[in-house]
Structure 1
Amino acid sequence: MPVQALAARLTMPVFWAKLALPVSMTAAGVAVLSRLSQPGVPTERAWKLLCVPIVLVWLSALAVLAGAPAPMREALILGHTWRACLAHIVQLSIPGFAALLIAMRGLAPTRPALAGATTGLLAGAIGALAYCLRCPEMAPPFWATWYLAGMSVPALIGALVGPRAMRW
């Protein structure tokens, strides 16, 4: 992608809204994971922080879809890059996922499956953050579907791997 294309996107308010999703998911994921890494630390408030960006992007997506003509709704969800989006986010999450698993292993998570899922979600959010700088899609229904799906895959893998990877 030429630098001019990214520079042009930087002037679009919708680009900053798109960027806000993985940035806020990353920040909230760090908050949850830092609490899960310490036995006895409450996590309820951190989980609520993680839910806020998800709810906001879904409300935004529903508003866009409600205002769009019926024939355009599918295109708003699929965009032009839906196949590549999911795969790229998952691929971009791999280095962060590996590093975070190693870091969490050295801490003291008492709920390894949940800590693994959160580790994967955080890695997915970091992958989505990197991908959204390149992604040409600007419709909230697209990000609400594919960015969140891309973050969910490493979260699922983390839930499966966490109990083995984070054993004391």
Structure 2
Amino acid sequence: MTMPTLDDLIVDLSQGLQPVRPISPMGGQILVGVLALSTLIATGAWWGMRDDVLAATPAPITALSIGLFFLLAVAGGWSLTRMAQPRVGMSNNGWRWAVAAVAVLPSIALFLAIQSPVDRVFMTWEGGIGCLLRGLGASLLVAVGLTFWLRRGAPMRINVSAWLIGLVAGAVGAIAVALTCPDDALTHIGIWHAAVVGATAVVGRLSLPRLLRW
């Protein structure tokens, strides 16, 4: 009995395989933009945009929070879509800096709440649970769309990909809340709006890896 050659092994392993069209990171980035824009238009029409946002004169803290959440959505979406085509030596860690920037909001909010009883009022469950639930609802379209899109690719870092889907979806949900919530208190924004991102990231990490494996 002769030993199979390397060529024979390759032929045996490749039998029955069908070529597939490579997934495009650019297509994923366009998808993120379309889903995010659709979400913001729909939530704005349903809940009603803030008057100062419609007038392009939002409160400074609201504008800052929207900018930070937008940065996280862009950085996370960029890293996530590039993971669909794994390559040796490719670095996708830019999103970590965006997470650190967003983390400034709850950090300052907690500091203010410790210092001032007045600021603690804006952290109450009754005043914030509505924003949290609306943000979670607004994140669903992006989360579902990105999950189905990434399943067509070949992500190697499944757990990180799951984190990123949650972060990107949560960032879009947080933007939707910031555009519609009338509360400008930093303690409210830093806890409840940022909690949307934290909650979706945890849910994504716990529930999505099994759906992304290939």
Query: Shorter-chain TM-score: what band?
Result: 0.7 to 0.9
Displacement of 1:58 in angstroms is 3.9
Q: Return closer, same or farther for 1:79/1:14 CA change in 2, 3 Å cut-off.
A: farther
Q: Give the TM-score, by structure 1 length.
A: 0.82
- The worse-fitting range, judged by mean Cα deviation, of 75-84 and 131-140 is 75-84
Residue 166 (structure 2) aligns with:
120
- What secondary structure, in the 3-state scheme, does the structure 2 residue paired with 1:108 have? coil
Q: Does 1:160 align with 2:206?
A: yes
Instruction: Kindly indicate whether the alpha-carbon contact (under 8 Å) linking 2:61 and 2:184 is maintained by their aligned counterparts in 1.
Output: yes
Contact 2:105–2:194 under 8 Å retained in 1: no
Which amino acid in the other structure matches residue 36 of structure 1?
M
- In 2, Cα distance between equivalents of 1:8 and 1:80: 29
| Letter of the structure 1 residue corresponding to residue 70 of structure 2 | V
Higher alpha-carbon Rg: 2
**Bigger mean CA deviation after superposition, 80-89 or 45-54:** 45-54
Q: How does 1:1-16 map to 2 (within 5 A)?
A: 1=48, 4=51, 6-7=53-54, 10-16=57-63
How far apart, CA to CA, are the structure 1 residues paired with 2:119 and 2:207?
37
For 1:135, the equivalent position in structure 2 comes to 181
Identity of aligned residues (%): 25
Write the distance in 2 (CA, Å) between the matches of 1:141 and 1:9: 23
Q: Does 1:91 align with 2:98?
A: no
Question: Match of 1:72, SS?
Answer: helix
Amino acid at match of 1:15: T
Query: Could you list the per-position Cα deviations for residues 96-154 of structure 1 after superposition, in whole angstroms to 9, with x for gaps in the alignment?
Result: 11001011111221121221121011111111111211111112222221122111222
Which consecutive residues of structure 1, in runs of 5 or more, have no partner in the other structure?
none
The answer to whether the Cα contact below 8 Å between 2:151 and 2:211 also exists between their aligned partners in 1 is: yes
- Is 1:81–1:137's contact at 8 Å kept on the other side of the alignment? no
Which letter does structure 1 place at the counterpart of 2:132? L
Greater helix proportion: 1
Q: How many aligned positions are there?
A: 165
